Amino acid sequence: MVGSRPPLRASAAPEHATSGDPRDGCTRRGGRSVAPSRHDDRVDGRRRRIDRNLLLASLAIAVGIVLIVYALARAETGSPEEDYPSAVEDVSPVPNAVQVLGQTQLIVDLAEGYEGRMEIDGVALDTIRLDELPTANVELGAQIDVPPGVVFEPGNGTLTFTPGEGSPIERFAEGRHTATVIFWRSDAGPGSARSYTWSFQAI
């Protein structure tokens, strides 16, 4: 018949076309059912089991680090006391310091107008005043030989003892030591002396 349209042919759906019933949660692709990609809530909600041995080891390491840091801090700072006598401005090592080396200097800083002497572990040490050392024949810039003992510098009011060869104490033995400073006003003399005692731990 003239003007009639040719019959339409049914064409197969392309392989990439998708179909399926959205209610069953599956999609057909190329004639195959493809399950949806989703996480299993039961798997995601499950917590990873903690290794108890690993946790204990980590805690032990952390505690060890804290103790080391604390010991180093105390070796440097100790437990400074805030109730020094008014004439004593500072001492070193500080009271209750630990891990003090055997040849560490002992230093007492006195207030202006004071002088004094020191005892260590009950041993009275000779005091050498720098302003009384003979300097007449000493060349400019040369080092002055100072006898063993506690050196007192009137200019800054410090008493310093350095353990070493020829000194009453060549080094501090391991253990606890006690130091005492006996001090007085320069214009009042030793008759008005007072004292301050502190301790430290040597290694």
Q: What is the pLDDT of residue 43?
A: 47
Residue 23 lies in a domain: no
pLDDT of residue 184 exceeding 90, the answer is yes
- Contact yes or no for 177/70 (Cβ under 8 A): no
Give the model confidence (pLDDT) of 116-168 as tens digits: 999 999 999 999 998 888 764 555 665 667 888 999 999 999 999 999 988 88
Residue 171 lies in a domain: yes
Q: How far is CA 158 from CA 59, 116, 117, 141, in A?
A: 46, 9, 10, 22
Residue 32 lies in a domain: no
Residue 80 lies in a domain: yes
Average of per-residue pLDDT across 178-193: 96
Give the model confidence (pLDDT) of 169-182 as tens digits: 999 999 999 999 99
Among the listed residues 33, 7, 11, the one whose alpha carbon sits nearest the alpha carbon of residue 20: 33
Residue 92 lies in a domain: yes
Q: What is the pLDDT of residue 17?
A: 47
Q: Give the highest mean pLDDT range of 11-25, 76-90, 178-192.
A: 178-192
**Residue 127: how many other CB atoms lie within 10 Å:** 17
- Contact yes or no for 169/65 (Cβ under 8 A): no
Residue 93 lies in a domain: yes
Q: What is the pLDDT of residue 160?
A: 97
Q: What is the pLDDT of residue 56?
A: 81
Does residue 93 have a cis peptide bond before it, meaning omega lies within 30 degrees of 0? yes
pLDDT of residue 190 exceeding 70, the answer is yes
Q: What is the pLDDT of residue 5?
A: 55
Q: Is 14 helix (H, G, I), strand (E, B) or coil?
A: coil
Residue 11 lies in a domain: no
Provide the number of structural domains found in the chain: 1
CATH classification at residue 157: 2.60.40.1220
Please, which residues have CB within 8 angstroms of residue 105's CB and are 6 or more apart in sequence?
92, 160, 161, 162
CA-to-CA distance for 77 and 172, rounded, in angstroms?
19
Q: What is the pLDDT of residue 57?
A: 81
Give the model confidence (pLDDT) of 79-98 as tens digits: 555 589 999 999 999 999 99
Range of the domain at 198: 75-135+146-202
Residue 15 lies in a domain: no
